[in-house]
Amino acid sequence: MDTSNKNSVLYSVSNFMERVRETKRRRAAMKMRKGIHKKYLQKMLLLMGVIFLGSCGHHKDEYHSVVDKFEDLGKDYQGTTLSSDPFLEEYNTIEITEGGHTFLIPERKSELQSYKCSECHSKPVAQLKGKEFQKAHWNIKLQHANQDAMNCLTCHNAQDMDHLISLTGSQIDFNYSYKVCNQCHSKQFEDWKGGAHGKRIESWAAPRASFTCVNCHNPHKPGFESKWPAKFNTQKRQDRD
């Protein structure tokens, strides 16, 4: 091998080795930078944790959530001596438990004092509407649901008019008429159990006493009529007319 070729080969080898060393230096520098960056992130996270924990001292009127505030302010609550009992003396109530909620509702059967339903409803309704029988509440017009889906016997037990009936044929006491409503109005029933739907009787202090569906809604026509407010702008009324 002549001198020029030998020098060319040596130069190529030297150049290749230099590139190898440069690549190693770059990799080492990259590894070092990653290590420094990782340590920096760890320190920043640690610092943020210290700052966060330091801000959780729960100083006066400082809470992370409404629940935290309730729990903190209520930790020393010892209850109340207030009671609804004095206001409920004029009501005849019964206690029920539904979905873990126990409360009082008005007893309803005591209102049926004059006659039991079965004293008149001794025959099928179609026969009772004849001329030979005395009229009672035949003026009731059912405006609750589509007539193809609902009639009187959807809720009233044709075999025993002293009781209501479920969609599956189970007997329901008049005192528990809300169980009939629950079959279709399950969302309202869930709200009513928890106290979000309906009306409390007299007081918000324990024991809880609540009206049932039929105390506010006419079961034959449950929708409320539209009404003007007790006080309203007469000019606006004239403009609307």
pLDDT band at 105 (very low <50, low <70, confident <90, very high): very high
Same domain, 89 and 208: yes
Q: Per-residue pLDDT averaged across 114-126, rounded?
A: 80
Domain range for residue 196?
85-216
pLDDT surpassing 90 at residue 97: yes
Extended beta strands in 66-170, E state: 93-98, 101-106, 164-165
Asked if residue 168 and residue 117 are part of one domain, the reply reads yes
Give how far Cα 224 sits from Cα of 21, 97, 140, 219, 227, Å.
Answer: 89, 28, 16, 11, 9
74 in a structural domain:
no
**What gap in Å lies between CA 185 and CA 179, rounded to an integer?**
10
Q: Are residues 19 and 113 in the same domain?
A: no
Residue that terminates a domain, selected from 38, 57, 76: 57
Give yes or no: residues 186 and 90 share one domain.
yes
112 shares its domain with 181: yes
- Give a yes or no: residue 227 inside a domain: no
- Mean residue pLDDT of the chain comes to 82
Contact indicator for 208, 194 with CB cutoff of 8 Å: no
Cα–Cα distance for residue pair 221/211, rounded to 1 Å: 18
Domain match, 142 and 34 both: no
Q: Phi and psi at residue 50, in whole multiples of 5°?
A: -65, -45
Residue 53 has pLDDT above 60, yes or no: no
pLDDT tens for 166-179 read: 999 999 999 999 99
241 or 80: which leads in pLDDT: 80
Closest by CA to 143, choosing from 222, 216, 217, is 222
Query: Region 5-24: what's the mean pLDDT?
Result: 69
Same-domain status, 93 and 180: yes
Does residue 138 belong to any structural domain of this protein? Answer: yes
Residues 161, 99 share a domain: yes
Q: What is the pLDDT of residue 78?
A: 79
For the chain, how many structural domains are there in total?
Answer: 2
Query: pLDDT above 70 covers what percent of the chain?
Result: 80
Residues 17 and 112 grouped into a single domain:
no
